[in-house]
Each structure stands twice: as C-alpha cells, then as structure tokens.
Structure 1
Amino acid sequence: MSRLSRLLRPRSIAVLGSGWALNVIEQCRAMGFAGPVWPVHPTRAQIGGLDCYRSLADLPGVPDATFIGVNRHATLEVVRELSAMGAGGAICFASGWQEAGEADLQAGLVAAAGDMPVLGPNCYGLINYLDGALLWPDQHGGRRVERGVALLSQSSNIVINLTMQARGLPVAYVACLGNAAQVGLTELAGELLADPRVTALGLYVEGIGDAPGFAALAERAAKAGKGIVCIKSGKTEQSRQAAQSHTASLAGGGAASSAFLRQAGVAEVASPDALIETLKIFHVHGPYLGPRLCSLSCSGGEAGLVADLAAPAGLEFPPVPGPVAAHLSGILGPIVAIANPLDYHTFIWGDGPRTTDVFSTMLAAYDAGIFIIDPPRPDRCDPSSFLPALTAIEAAQAATGKPAFPVSSLSENFDEDLAIAMMARGVAPLMGLEAALPALKAVQRPAARPGWRPLPALPVRPVRLLDEAEAKARLASAGIAVPQGVTAADLPGLAARTHALAGPFALKGLGFAHKTEAGAVRLNLVSLEGQAEIPGATGYLAEEMVTGALAELLVGLRRDPVYGATVTLGLGGTMAELLADTVTLVLPVTGDEVNEALRRLRLWPLLDGYRGRAVADSGAVVAAVLALQDMIQADDRLEEIEINPLMVRARGAIAADAVIWEAET
C-alpha cells in the first residue's frame, strides 16, 4: 500500500467545518459512498443529518481521509492532530498561504503533517468515482464508473468545468493540487495512474516542479499503455533572461515546457475541449496513434472543411492507394471522385452492407479514420436513418482492427447517451472538428526515448558576459570552427595586427551582448585605416569575413530553472526574433533528434537544396550542437551559449558570432 492509498480510496471519511462539511456529506451521499462519514464540530449536534463528534479524539476510529474546511490557522492544529493519530491523509481547503505571501505559515503546515499526506492547501480536494468517495465541497458533473480516466489540475474551477462535459468520457478520478505544499504533481499523478482501473491521465498544470521525476512517470505510464495529455498554462510569461539574448527570447515562455512534454512522450493540447477528446482516444485506443489518416463524409462541404481545418492542426491525409481507389470506385460509381478526404456522396446512404464495405476498404489502408457524422438531435428529430452509417463505422473498426472515429462537425451534434454507448463498445466518437483534429494530432506524438531524463536544474545565479574573443576561444577548444581573427585594446593596435588576416574584414567592438543594436559591428572592410572608435567598447576584434554560406542559423543553449537546459535552433541573423522560425529541445539530445528538429524548421528546404541550390552541411550543424551540449554538461558555470549566426556551408559550419554567459565566481 502506498502512502496515498488511504486518502484516494478511503473506507472512512471525517469532515471538519460547517457549510463546507455539509457539502462534502451531501456529495458522498449522492454518490453512494459505502463507508462512514464522521462530521466533527465543537458545538453543532448534527450536520447533514449525521451526528457530530466534538473533536477528532472522539471519533470511533482513525479516518482514512479528512476534509478540513476550517480557517488556515485552525487547519494547522487539525493537521498536527490527524498526523499524530495516524490518519490516512487530508484535504486542506483554506486559502491564504504561500499564494498570499504566507510562506512561513505553509511551511508550518508541512511540518505539522509530518509523514501524513496532505493535498493543498488552497485545494478543493478529490473525487473517486470508482468507489464513490468524495472529499469535495461543491457540485460536479460526474457519475460512478468502473473504469475511466483521471483528471488532475492545479485549478479547481478548470477541473470542475471538465466534470460537466457531456461527451461520453468516463472519469474515474478528479483531484486538485492547490499549492502542492507537500504532495506534488508527480507523486499524485503516479498514484492515480497506478490504479488498474485508470486508463489515462489529463492534466491542467501551471508548473512541473520535478522534471526528471515527471519524465520517469511518463515513461512508466507509456509502458503500461496509458496516455498522458496536458494543458500547460502560463506560456506567455517571459523567461528570466529574456533581455540577454535572442535565445532567451525565442526559447522563453512555453517553448521549453512544450519541448519537455514532447520529449517525455506527453501529449499537449491548448484547450479543455481538445483535452477531453484526446482522453477519449487514449481511453479506447491507448497512448499512441499512427499518422496516416483517412477522412470520409457524404458531403463535399464536409470534406473541404476537414481539409481546411486539418492543415493548421498539422494533420495530413495521404492519397488513396490505387487498388483501394479501384475497389471504392466500383462500389460508389463513376460520379464519385476517389480522394482523401473522401466525399462518398449519398448513393449508399442507408445501405448497411455497401456502406460497411466502403468504410472498411478505406480504413484498412490507413492507421486510423475519421467519419464525419452529425446525427440529428433526438429531442426534435428522428436519428434512426443515421444508424446504418454508425453501425458501419463500428463494423469497419472491428473488421480492420484500425481506430474508426465518428466525428461530429459541432460538439453538440452528438448525443451524450449515444456517445456513452459507443465508448462502452470500444468506439470513440469525437465531438467538434475544431477539438477532434488537434486531439488526433496530439496522440500522434513520437514516443519518448527510453530512459530520457532532463539535466538537473541549477538555481538562478548572477552571470557575467564573456567577450566575443574569449567566447570563440572556448568554442574553438570544443572543436567548433570560428573565423580567423585578432584582438587588440584599441584600433591602431588592431590595424597593425591584421596583416595576418585575409580581407575583407569584420570589425567588432568587444563587451556588448547585442553588438548590432549597439552599432558595434562593421562588415566587409578592406582596411581598418580611418575607422572611428566604437563607443563603449572594451576592446576590438577583427576577423576574416565568412564566405560561401548557404544558410545562417541560430544555435543557442541555455540553462532552464525547471527543465535543466535547452537548445534552440532556428533561422539566424539580425531578424531571428522577427521571423521566429525556431525549434527548442530539452537536453540531453542525440544527433538524430537534432537532425529531426532541423527538419521541423520552415527554413529546412534552404538547407536541403531548395530549387537546385547546393545542399548545406546539416551534419556540421548537428556536430556543433553536440559539441555545445558537451560544453554545458562539462562545466556547471556555463549559463548560456549562443552562436548567431552559424554560417552553414556545403562543407562545414563556422560560428561567425558567439555570446557566452557564465556564472559569476
């Protein structure tokens, strides 16, 4: 038995407070909780028709789970007493802790709890729909189930809203983290997923406190055939070093968290609608779905709508194979143009065997299929004419072993009772194209690399800027090519040393993080004679101009206070932030992963011989990234390394500009 077992699956519940305790009692009664519920109140005789106990010491037994609905100061003593008596765990409902600037009060709560698990504080609680146990002080939209998904949220209101869904998703658990003072995201999520009755996990989180632990959890879930899908909030917040480099600006906000989730094998969506639809796919079909989709509808308008909405979602519909097209044409006749998405018209509408043949033939050639269907609303219409098509969808899935998704164009156009019945038979109706398509894309994510864990995160610390000459010396020692150059304290001294270089030259003032913005870069100089001093420069660097470049890339590595360290790849130069064509990965990475990331850039065709251009040496880019990774892993002082631009040639790549920040000693 784990330390959270009694709290999540209690056989006895104690409730403290007055109005909040009454709500918990009523919710347990409505859900049919079989165990005793013990209200504790010093002056009330009854709450919710149940006799009250004057104190915890008067209880007839030690409660497995306790809902504490009293003020924050009284909560401390209650938690201390529960821990001393060996209670199984508690929900701390009151607010006014660290989120209100009371960090010491929250630390006191953790100390009072000792080994007893506590959810919160500032936490609504949990609902166990499997066993009918609720420590929940409000209404909810769920019902008893035998198996289903778990919902875990740092926002109580968000998860309440999710319970109100009418889309046929069976929910097994609802849990809130609140301030997560003691029980954190990884521990609670792991305990929920460990229940064999739980099929998948949906998350709404503001932060991931233990990135390596969460990555390990995601790997265990995948091995158990359970998918995790996440909405990560707070993506617009600028990162802590956004003013220091292009990398910090481009990799800030949500780029690092999205990269982490992707590499950990966790699906990410942007809306509660897509979260629910993704969970339905996971519940029925498991954590992964192949990328080859087909779409079938009986309307050209629907087929066009699917194609238009699928493109922004990143979904593609491969062409219909020749033999499949021939068979379909034989059934549907010469008027129907065989394509994917397929408009099969209404010639076979109501003909169950022919519809099943068309659906099965198309689906067999793909990884999964979506079937656009909006059954008429049963309260005003007769939906019976749609039953042959719905039956054919189920039959196609059974015949091919491929997932077949009935998809309504509007979320409200699929009756909840019908969705529940189909889910129970192993078919997942998806409701609303704008939610279904992102969900289908989310489950196509790549599996995590076995054993992948992010680098340990380091605390935020003061940093200093290395000048470009020193930065490039570091790069050169790591095996990264840099231009030939010379340095001097002043321009006359620099001019005297340029005889060793082949012109034209690049002249740079040292000591600037953003040289272009400071006017500290002068390019294509034949001579340094007559050049004016650069205000604010701490010294000067002259280099041979880099020629023959086919592309200019930005390559930036930086420490991250949550995810350890990241690498950002993208279009470089002075317009890097304006164009924002970047991909971010969380370290450590392999060469294959860097190569795959390059192919996700919009600029990839420029590297790959676009319109007859020479092919750039992407292998040199990969080698540079891995060398930088070795640098940051070997030296904890390195905070950020940016090459912008990395000039990529047909053979080789040269760091034309470099910035390094390291921790102050």
Structure 2
Amino acid sequence: MRDLSRLLRPRSIAVLGAGWAANVITQCAKMGFDGPVWPVHPTRDAIAGVRCLRSLAELPQAPDAVFVGVNRHATLDVVADLSAMGAGGAICFASGWEETGDAALQAALVAAAGAMPILGPNCYGVINYLDGALLWPDQHGGRRVERGVALISQSSNIVINLTMQARGLPVAYVACLGNAAQVGLAELAAAVLADPRVTALGLYVEGFDDAAGFAALAEAARAAGKGIVAVKSGKTEASRAAATSHTAALAGSGAASAAYLRQTGVAEVSTLGALIEALKVLHVHGPGMGTRLCSLSCSGGEAGLVADLGAKAGIAFEPPSAGQKARMGAVLGPLVTLANPLDYHTFIWGDGPKTTEVFTAMLDGYDAGLFLIDPPRPDRCDPSSFEPAIAAIEAAQAVTGKPAFPVASLPENFDETRAIAMIDRGIVPLMGLETALEALAALQVPAGHTGWRPWPVMPTREARMLDEAAAKAALAGAGVAVPKGVTAATLSALDTSGLRAPFALKGLGFAHKTEAGAVRLGVTNPCTEAEMPGAKGYLLEEMVQGGVAELLIGLRRDPVYGATLTLGLGGVTAELIADTVTLIAPVTGADIGVALRRLKLWPLLDGWRGRPRADTEAVITAVLGMQAMMQADTGLHQIEVNPLIVKTNGAVAADAVIWRDA
C-alpha cells in the first residue's frame, strides 16, 4: 500500500496552473497553513499575491503535495517530473480521461506517476482541516478543528455541499477520488483513518473498486473504535428488466451493495442529512449503537410522532420496566402515563432536579435515549426556559454513561453555535426527527464477522443454461434434496414404473417454464398429455407433498462483490411479492438463519396462527450445499432453486436452473 501521509499532511505545497489553482493558494492562506506554498507558472510573476517559480526545477525541495491544475496532456509530463524528483503526491485536477472514453491517456498517467501517489484524475482534491492544508480549488464551508471525521466522496459537488453543513459536525478531512486511476477508495480511507485525530469516516460511494480491500479496511476501522457510515448511490439497474432469472431481478445492485455494507459493519443511510447526524454520533460515541432506545418529550403529539416515524425507520420502542415506572411515577405523579415513547407533560418543566431524575431513570434502562427539545429561536424569542431541560439531558448522560441525544424536530431549531458547544462537551444534538431516527437505526448495524472477505470477482464469460434435469443432478450431488424423476426425449418414452403419481411434468430447455406453458401439475399419465412446443425433452417427477412454504434460493456471481445469495418467498409470484433478503457470499448457517427471520413473511415459516413450522434447518443445509457448489466450481455462474418446497421435516428443490461456462 502506498504511503499517502505526505500528500494528506503536507509540510510544503506546490501549485501548478492558474485560474482554479489560484484558489488553492488563497484557501491555504485563509486556513492558516504554516508551510511554504510555491506557485509554479512559466509566464506569470505572481498568483494570488505569491511570487511564482518558472519551473519545477526552481523548487527549493521536492514538495510534499502538489495541486496539478494544468490541462490533461500537460499533466502527464508534470506528473512524471514530480515522481522523478521525489514529490510526496499529487492531485490531478484536469478532466477528459477515462470518464470521457480515453482509457489509454489515463493508463499513461498512472505509468507516469510510478510509485508517487496521485488522486484522480478529474479530482477536486483534499482538505486537511487539522493542519490547514488545502489542495482544493474552490470554496468550502469548513473550519479548523483539532479532531473530527473524514469525508471521502466520489462526487466533488456532494462533498462541497457537505462542508457547508451547519449542524456542528467537526470535519478533519475532505477528500475526492475522481476517477481513482491509482489510489482507490479502500486505500484512501485507510490513509485518513490512520490519523489518530480522525474519529470516524463518512462516504458518498458510487461504486466499490476493491470489495475485499474495503472489507479489510472496515474491520480494521471498527477494531480501532472508528465507525463508518455511507450513502451508496446508483442503486437502480436498467438491466434488471431483461433479467433471465428471478434472482437477477430481485438481487439488483442496490440489494447487493446494501448487503455488502451490512456484512462489513458499515452503517448505510439514504440521505446526506442522515450521514451528517450519524457521523456526529460516531464522532462522540464510536460504533456499536444499541438497539434498545427510549424517547422522552413533553408533548403527546411529539411522542406519537416519534412512535410513527420510529416504526418507519425500523425502531421499536420497548416499554419501561416496573422499576423505572415506580421511580418516574414518584416524580411525575398519577396523571402521566408511563410509556415509551414517554410524554412526561410539563408538570416538572423548569425544575432541574426533578427533570434530571426522570430523564436519568428512563435512560438508565436503555442503550440510548432521544430527548425531543426544540429551543426557541434566539433572534425572536427567549430560550432561557429550555436550559434546565437541556442541562438535565446532559446530566442523565453523565450519570448513566448512556448516550443522551437532544433531538430537534426541525433541523434549524438547533443553531450551529449551540451544536458545536454541545459536541465539544460530548453531547450529540440531532437535527430533524426523521433524519435522527434514520441515522440511529442505521448505526445499529451489527459488527461484521472477523476475517470475512467476499469471494474474488470472476472475469465475465459466456454462459449456457443447464436443463432442469442436469441442474437437479448437480444439486443432488451437493446434498440438496430433489424429487424422484425420470427424463426422456418424448412423452411416450417416459418410464413411470418406478414413480408414484401424481406427477409434475416439465418441458426441458426453458428458463421460465411457467410463462412458456411448460409445467403441468397433477399429471397421472404423461402419455395422454399434449406435446409442449419448444421442449428439448421432458422431465417427469413425483410431486412434492406436505409443503409448508415455498422459498426462492439464488446464488449468482457478482462483478463487484464476488457472489450474491438471495433468500425469499418463492413460487411463480416471487417477483410480485419481492420479499427477499440478499447476502454476500460466503455466509454461515447462522447468517442464513438471521436472514430468514428478516423476511416480512417469516411468521409463515414459524407457525403463524397454528400453521405447522417449516424445517428451517433443512433450508440452511440446502443453501450451504449450493454455496459449496459455487465455491468449488468457478465455472458456475448462477444457481436458482424456485421453489424450494419446505416441509415440517426436510426441504426439496422442486425446480432448479443452473448457468455455467458455455
């Protein structure tokens, strides 16, 4: 891995170009960078009031970091010269590389850089708010800090917008990847997290270039007590409309990326606001947010809103214990219903000791607490009456050691000055109720398995579909139960002597047999059935009896994450119901069990309203068998069983399709 320390924490900076490059010099001066900044330009005497050097040869020493603001063709020679002179690294600002189809030019840039780290090309650069070093050609909204979070983005505009936040988040680094021709996401993330002053990492990700490397990075970050939260864009997938299997349609890029982030222990949020709020929590409290939350407000309307929005975010508020009720009831009296979310009314408003006792008693029984409080705007109102409640929130956290979050219903109801001061005291104000709930729910992501890495990505190859008979023979060889059956080229040649009716009759050679009219159930005599146009032979099987549920199980190679595993309710309505969970291989039996319980219709498998319970252990065994097939045979592209008919004792692959190398 390259050493990015000089590029990220430079003691000297060189700036090449004019125009945008002038902003780099101005921003370094405004932020108080105390090292030399050397503009280099062949014709100008000064840029941004600083005397120019005529060429790189005039530099007094090899610079630690260089902002290369010249055109893309000149960039090649400049980068080669910088590498030869031992510069610490460069930002390649110019566009017009692989993003416009010129992959050869981008490859030449990487070759010119050699061992010298470069960010980009087509890259805005890096801001180091810790040391005041900015290789950044534009405005930004940040401030100097002594410690804070790092922000890495694959979009320059997105990260510029993030610097303009007024929510009190202390930002230590801002970095853009651009085209990531040389230094990728995992490498850059590892470099910023190596700074002990960095507390957490926030990402705006369009794609992962090294899934295994990022998984290793995420594990190391969590071990160091530094959480990661991400916004993943690009979740739609136009090719899903033309998918040849249920699995491909249901496990698109959004499901795969969400599964990957979850399995690496990275919190995923959908909005930039939630990204900021989650990072504030990670900055102060670190990763490992508990799942048991309480909520307190002095309004029934607010309590109801928390309950409704909490359910939408996937947060369940468990009721307080009898001990907590007794303790709070002694202060609040008989008129207050002791629940969670709690409306504590205004009987104790302004009474610091009583408010502190109620807040502490409630918080003590949970992992963390939300305390709804919207201080009046100070320009038109007097917020002083809210101070006792705010002080009580801080006291409750201090006494219990549990995170206590003051939550404003609207984000503007905490001003930036107050938010910064609170965070400096170790209290995290969350701005916007719905955003706060999304952030806290995301932070409940479990830690990834130690040592887990996705399978290597396989090169793209042509695939052919095995017919169902061949697919089931392969499954049976891996220990997956399949129905007893026979095959023949014609209906009249099917030998039923060793089978017991009723039968399932299927035409071979169809990816979707139901749509092609190539499935007939309850058959007693195949010889009396009509031929199936287009069938490449026939499969006759004993029908599976005693099914409790039908599941879809699908594994397929993934060009980014190695292989995905999709579990869900199956049958001909699988895509209509779309009740699935996607995982990234490899998985354990325990992972599969947890995933099944995440299905919306899990109760149907678990004896809902007196129904017989499905044999989920048999499901797990079947899935692990299919995973072992994929792992052992790199020629397999995709395995789909739909349905896997689950009984009270056992599970049988009633239909299966396999794609493998052509």
Q: Tell me the TM-score range normalised by the shorter chain.
A: over 0.9
CA contact (8 A) 2:2 2:115 kept: no
Per the TM alignment, residue 281 of structure 1 is displaced from its structure 2 partner at its CA by 0.5
Match of residue 372 from structure 1: 372
CA shift for structure 1 position 253: 2.3
Q: What is the CA-CA distance between 1:529 and the residue it aligns to?
A: 2.9
Q: Give the C-alpha shift of residue 239 in structure 1.
A: 5.5
Matched-pair contact (CA < 8 Å) for 2:552–2:569:
yes
Task: Read off the aligned partner of 1:658 and give its amino acid letter.
Answer: A
Secondary structure of the equivalent of 2:127? strand
1:458-486 Cα offsets, whole Å, 9 max, x none, are 01110000000000001111111111111
- Residue 22 of structure 1 pairs with residue 43 of structure 2: no
| Equivalent position of 2:261 in the other structure | 261
8 A contact 1:204–1:232 mirrored in 2: yes
Which of 612, 623, 626 pairs up with 1:625? 623
SS in 2 for 1:499: coil
AA at the equivalent of 2:502: P
1:148 aligned partner: 148
Letter in 2 for 1:510: L
Cα distance in 2 for partners of 1:276, 1:24 equals 26
One-letter amino acid of the counterpart of residue 234, structure 2 = G
What is the distance in 1 between the residues matched to 2:37 and 2:598? 55
TM-score, with length taken from structure 2: 0.99
- 1:283 and 1:219 map into 2 onto residues whose CA distance is 17
Residue matched to 2:135: 135
Match of 2:426 in 1: 426
**Corresponding residue for 1:100?**
100
Cα separation, 2, equivalents of 1:246 and 1:502: 30
Structure 1 CA distance, aligned partners of 2:198 and 2:356?
33
- Counterpart of 1:607 in structure 2 is 605
Would you say the 8 A contact 1:153–1:175 is kept in 2? Answer: yes
Other-structure match for 1:560 = 558
Kindly indicate whether the alpha-carbon contact (under 8 Å) linking 1:553 and 1:646 is maintained by their aligned counterparts in 2.
Answer: yes
- Letter aligned with residue 170 of structure 2: P
Alignment of 1:418-457 (within 5 A): 418-457=418-457
Distance in 1 (alpha carbons) for counterparts of 2:274 and 2:386: 25
The one-letter amino acid paired with 2:599 is L
> Which consecutive unaligned segments of at least 5 residues does structure 2 have?
none
Summarize the Cα distance change of 1:556–1:629 in structure 2 as closer, same or farther, 3 Å threshold. Answer: same
* Cα contact 1:242–1:252 (8 A) shared by 2: no
Aligned equivalents of 2:420, 2:317: Cα separation in 1 = 28
Aligned residue for 2:168? 168
**Larger deviation: 648-657 or 499-508?**
499-508
TM-superposed CA distance for 1:320, in Å, is 0.9
Moved more, 326-335 or 144-153: 326-335
SS at 1:319 equivalent: coil
- For 2:482, the aligned partner's letter is V
Q: Which residue of 2 aligns with 1:177?
A: 177
C-alpha separation in 2, matches of 1:447 and 1:9: 30
Confirm or deny: 8 A CA contact 1:238 1:252 kept in the other structure: no
Distance 1:56 1:382 in 2: 59
Asked whether 1:362 is paired with 2:358, we answer no
Query: 2:194: which partner in 1?
Result: 194
- Partners of 1:252 and 1:244 in 2: CA distance: 13
Equivalent positions of 1:59-78 (< 5 A) are 59-78=59-78
**Could you tell me which residue of structure 1 aligns to residue 653 of structure 2?**
655
**1:405 alignment counterpart:** 405
Q: CA deviation at 1:526?
A: 1.8
Matches within 5 A, 1:73-472: 73-238=73-238, 243-472=243-472
Q: Distance in 2 between matches of 1:597 and 1:131?
A: 45
Take 1:524 and 1:102, find their aligned partners in 2: how far apart are those partners? Answer: 60
Give the aligned residue type for 2:544. V
Cα separation, 1, equivalents of 2:25 and 2:274: 33
Contact 2:567 2:582 in 1 (8 A): yes
Q: How many residues align?
A: 662
In structure 2, C-alpha distance between the alignment counterparts of 1:47 and 1:454, rounded to whole Å = 49
Tell me how far apart the structure 1 counterparts of residues 412 and 460 of structure 2 sit (CA, whole Å).
Answer: 48
The one-letter code matched in structure 2 to 1:577 is E
Deviations 1:536-556 (A, max 9, x none): 111100111111000000000
User: Could you tell me how far apart the structure 2 residues matched to 1:452 and 1:465 are?
Assistant: 31
Per the alignment, in what secondary structure is the counterpart of residue 558 of structure 1?
strand
User: How far did residue 238 of structure 1 move?
Assistant: 4.2
Distance in 1 of aligned mates of 2:157 and 2:364: 42
Contact 2:2 2:117 in 1 (8 A): no
CA distance in 1, matches of 2:237, 2:86: 42
Between the aligned partners of 2:555 and 2:241, the Cα distance in structure 1 is 13
Displacement of 1:243 in angstroms is: 1.5
Which amino acid is 1:7 matched to? L
How far did 1:378 drift?
Answer: 1.4
Give the aligned residue type for 1:132.
G
Q: Indicate the residue corresponding to 1:58 in structure 2.
A: 58
User: Percent of pairs identical after alignment?
Assistant: 73
2:142 counterpart SS class: coil
Work out the CA distance in 2 between the residues paired with 1:321 and 1:240.
Answer: 48
Question: How far is the alpha carbon of 1:622 from its aligned partner?
Answer: 0.3
CA positional deviation for 1:530: 2.6
- Cα distance between partner residues in 1 of 2:60 and 2:85: 12
- Can you list the C-alpha shifts for 1:277-333, whole angstroms capped at 9, x where unaligned? 000000000011110000000000000000010101000110110111111111111
Match of 2:596 in 1: 598
Mapped partners of 1:388, 1:242: distance in 2: 61
Residue pair 1:320, 1:340 contacting (<8 A) in 2 also: yes
Q: Distance in 1 between matches of 2:384 and 2:77?
A: 61
Q: Distance in 2 between matches of 1:100 and 1:477?
A: 49
The AA in structure 1 aligned to 2:535 is A
SS in 1 for 2:505: strand
| In structure 2, distance between residues paired with 1:447 and 1:432 | 27
User: For 2:383 and 2:334, how far apart are their aligned partners in 1?
Assistant: 30
Secondary structure at the counterpart of residue 493 of structure 2: helix
Does structure 2 conserve the Cα–Cα contact (< 8 Å) formed by 1:238 and 1:249?
Answer: no
Q: Which residue of 2 aligns with 1:583?
A: 581
Q: Which residue of 2 aligns with 1:540?
A: 538
Q: Is the 8 A contact 1:239 1:248 kept in 2?
A: no
Q: What CA distance in whole angstroms lies between the structure 1 residues aligned with 2:514 and 2:199?
A: 54
SS where residue 283 of structure 1 aligns?
Answer: helix
- Equivalent position SS for 1:529: helix
Q: Is the 8 A contact 2:240 2:249 kept in 1?
A: no
Q: Secondary structure at the match of 2:43?
A: coil
Q: CA deviation at 1:2?
A: 6.0
Residue pair 2:235, 2:254 contacting (<8 A) in 1 also: yes
User: CA deviation digits over 1:323-349, x for unaligned, max 9?
Assistant: 111111111111110000000001111
Whole-angstrom distance in 1 between the partners of 2:355 and 2:623:
53
Alpha-carbon separation, structure 2, partners of 1:21 and 1:216: 36
SS of equivalent to 1:235: coil
**What is the alpha-carbon distance in structure 2 between the residues aligned to residue 316 and residue 169 of structure 1?**
27
Aligned to 1:513: 511
Q: Please tell me the residue identity of whatever aligns with 2:364.
A: A
Match of 2:11 in 1: 11
Residue in 2 that maps onto 1:525: 523
- CA distance in 1 between partners of 2:337 and 2:271 (Å): 35
Query: 2-side partners of 1:240 and 1:74: how far apart?
Result: 42
Moved >2 Å (runs of 4+): 238-242
Post-superposition Cα deviations, 1:635-658, rounded to whole Å, max 9, x if no partner, equal: 111110000000000000000000
Letter aligned with residue 616 of structure 1 = A
CA distance, structure 2, for counterparts of residue 241 and residue 311 of structure 1:
31
Structure 1 residue runs without a partner (length 5+)? none
Following the alignment from structure 2 to structure 1, what is the Cα–Cα distance between the partners of residues 524 and 412? 70
Question: Aligned to 1:15, what secondary structure does the other structure show?
Answer: strand
- Residue type matched to 1:123 in 2? C
Letter in 1 for 2:631: Q
Partner of 2:635: 637
Conserved? CA contact 1:241–1:248, under 8 Å: no
Cα distance in structure 2, aligned partners of 1:120 and 1:246: 38
